[in-house]
Amino acid sequence: MALRALHTANRRAFALGRRNFSEKICMVGSGNFGSALVRILGRNALRHDIFDNEVKMYVHEEMIDGKKLTDIINETNENVKYLKGAKFTPNVVADPDISSAVAGATMICFCLPHQFLKPMVPKIKASAAPGVKCLSAIKGIDFDDKGIVLISDIIRKELKADCSVLMGANVANDMASDAFCETTIGYKDPKNGELFKLAYDDFSLKVGTVQDTVGVELCGALKNIVAIGAGFVDGLGYGGNTKAAIIRIGLKEMVKFCKTFYPNDGISDDTFLESCGVADLITTCYGGRNRKCAEAFAAAGKSKSLETIEAELLGGQKLQGTLTAKEVNHILKMKGMEKDFPFFTTVYKISYEDTPLEAITTTPY
C-alpha cells in the first residue's frame, strides 16, 4: 500500500512537472559487492519513474594501467577492477569526489569498509539533500567501551538520517551473472523500506523486507563466526550431520545474541528465516573465505596462525569472522556472559587460545 501511494505520488509529481520530486540515488562504495548492487540500481533507475535516471557511484580513485578507474568505468560501463565482466547500464556514473557524488542525493547506499565511513561524514552532510534516506549494505559491527556499535547507528547518528540495511545470500560474482538470488532489507520507516525495495527488487534479485534493522544487520556480522566453526568441522573431516548441527547451533546463538543485546528493538523471529538469516548463513558456511581459512587452519592442526593462513589464502583481503569472534568475545567477557554463548566462545578460544579444535563438537552447547 505504501508502494502504491509512492507510485501515485510519483505519477502526480510528473503530471505537475515537478521533476525534482524524483529520488536521486548515490552508491558510496565501488568494491565487489557495491558494484554488483549499483548494477541493479542503474537498471531500476531507468525502469521506475520515481528515480532520477542518473545513479552516482562514489569510487575511491585508483590508477589501472595508467588510467583512472572512474574514467574506465564511465567509458566502458564496467568496474574492471572489482567486478570484471559485468556491464552497468550507462546511467551509472562513477565519481571520485564524495561531495559531488552525493550532491543532491535523496537516497544514499553505503557499501564500503566501515572505517572509511566517519571521515566522509562532513562532506556527505554538506552535499546530500535534506532528509536524505540511507541504506547500509556494510557487513560488520563496531565496538566501543560500552559495547556493540551498529554501523547503521553510526550513519543515523552522524547524518541524522533514517537508515535501512541490506543483507542476504549475495555473493557478488554470482550476482554479476544475474543468477537468481534474494536479499533482505531491514527498515525502521516503512516508506523508506518500500522505496529501497523498489530500487533493488529486480528480475534477478528478489527483495524481502522486515521491520527489523538490528536483526538483519547483526545476521550479516555474526554469520561469519558460524562460518569459522563450520570451517573447523570441514578441516577436521567430520561429515554433513556434524556440519549441519554446528550451523544450526550457531544460528540459535545468533538469535540469542540479538535478543539478549537488543531486547527492545523488535528483533523478529521471521528475520532469521529471511535471506539475511538462514540463506546467507548457508552460502557463507558452504562457500566463502571465512570457512575456507578456518578449514585450512583446522586441517593443519592449528600449526599455523590464522593470520598466516589469511595472508596465504586471501591475498590482502581480511578475515571478517575471526575479527568478529574476537570483538564479540570482548563484549561477552565485559558482560560476564561467555558461558551463555558457548559456541561463539568456543570459536574464539579455538582461534586465539590453546583450546583444541575438537572442542567445536565436544563443548556442551
Which of 88, 272, 341, 348 contacts a copy of itself by CB under 8 A? 272
Residues linked to residue 206 through DSSP beta bridges, in sequence order = 182
Q: How far apart are CA 70 and CA 34, in angstroms?
A: 14
Residue from 269, 312, 318, 335 in contact with a copy of itself (CB under 8 A): 269
With cell 510519483, the residue in question is 10
Number of neighbouring beta carbons within 10 Å of residue 185: 29
Of 240 and 336, the one with the shorter C-beta distance to a copy of itself is: 240
244 binds a copy of itself (CB under 8 A): yes
Residue 163: beta bridge partners? 134
Instruction: Quote the longest CA-to-CA distance of the chain.
Output: 70
Q: Binding a copy of itself by CB under 8 A: which of 22, 170, 271, 346?
A: 170
Nearer to a copy of itself, 170 or 320 (CB): 170
What separation in angstroms does the CA of 280 have from each of 83, 171, 285, 311?
20, 9, 8, 25
**Any idea how long the chain is?**
365
Residues 208, 164, 95, 13: what is their CA dihedral angle, to the nearest 10 degrees?
80
- Kindly tell me which of 286 and 335 has the beta carbon lying closer to a copy of itself: 286
Establish if 218 lies at the interface with a copy of itself (CB under 8 A).
no
Supply the minimum distance, in Å, between the C-beta of residue 85 and a copy of itself. Answer: 14
Using the rule CB under 8 A, give the single segment among 16-24, 39-47, 114-122, 243-251 that binds a copy of itself.
243-251
**Is 223 marked active-site?**
yes
Burial of residue 295 (number of CB atoms within 10 Å: 0-12, 13-18, 19+): buried
Min dist CB 87 to a copy of itself, Å, is 19
Catalytic residues: 223
Tell me which residues touch a copy of itself (CB under 8 A): 169-171, 173-175, 177, 179-182, 206, 238-245, 247-249, 251-252, 255, 269, 272-275, 278-280, 282-283, 286-287, 361-362, 365
Annotated binding-site residues read: 29-34, 116, 139, 172, 289-290, 318, 320
